[in-house]
Every structure is written in C-alpha cells, then in structure tokens.
Amino acid sequence: SQQGEEDPQALSIQEGENATMNCSYKTSINNLQWYRQNSGRGLVHLILIRSNEREKHSGRLRVTLDTSKKSSSLLITASRAADTASYFCATDARSGAGSYQLTFGKGTKLSVIP
C-alpha cells in the first residue's frame, strides 16, 4: 500500500514556469525522498529531506517538509522540457522488527511544453 500520495496526479506547464507537486503521507517518518522517472525507465534520486529539516534546496529544486501536516512539496523553478517526467515521493515506513522499507506514492506526471 502507498504511504505517500502525490497531488496533482498530472500537471502541464509551459517552459520557464514553476511546477509545484505535493505529497502527503500517513505515519511518522525519519526522512522523505523525491525521485524522478523518465518514461518507463529507472528512478533517479533528486533530494532527501530529514524529519528535522523544514526546507532543502538543490539547484532548481526546492523541497519543503511539514511534519505536523504530514506533507511535503517539491518546487521546480524555471522548468525545462527535459523536466518532463513522473515525480515520486518516498517515505521510510517501518515494516516491523525494527526494519524499514521505502514506500512510494503513485507519482505526479509533469509535462513541460516547449
């Protein structure tokens, strides 16, 4: 079952605009990660934010985390056609006996129109 849920499911913007994707999760986490997947390929890690962090930047990416609302957002500034991909949030969910597994949401499909 999915721990994280991304919103919106799909997003279409013009090149140069900003894109914002949201992720909500259900249980407490230690960290939250964002990944990108180009059509039918493997996932690429974008950024990891720990539960004691509120905001993190990496290049054109800005991630925020609000643990009180159990939500995170990913902002891509000045989008490019190459940013067209699906974006997933992933949380570390406890799976019993002290072990953890990475649980992914269903993703936001971003289309950047040149």
What are the residues binding another protein (CB under 8 A)? Answer: 1-2, 30-31, 33, 35, 40-45, 48, 50, 88, 92, 95, 99-107
Looking at beta carbons only, is 18 or 41 nearer to another protein?
41
**Angle, alpha carbons 54-59-62 (nearest 5°):** 30
Looking at beta carbons only, is 33 or 84 nearer to another protein?
33
Q: How far is the CB of 14 from another protein (least distance, A)?
A: 27
Looking at beta carbons only, is 7 or 15 nearer to another protein?
7
Q: Are 27 and 93 in contact (CB under 8 A)?
A: yes
Sheet of 55-58, strands arranged across: 4-7, 19-25, 71-76, 61-66, 55-58
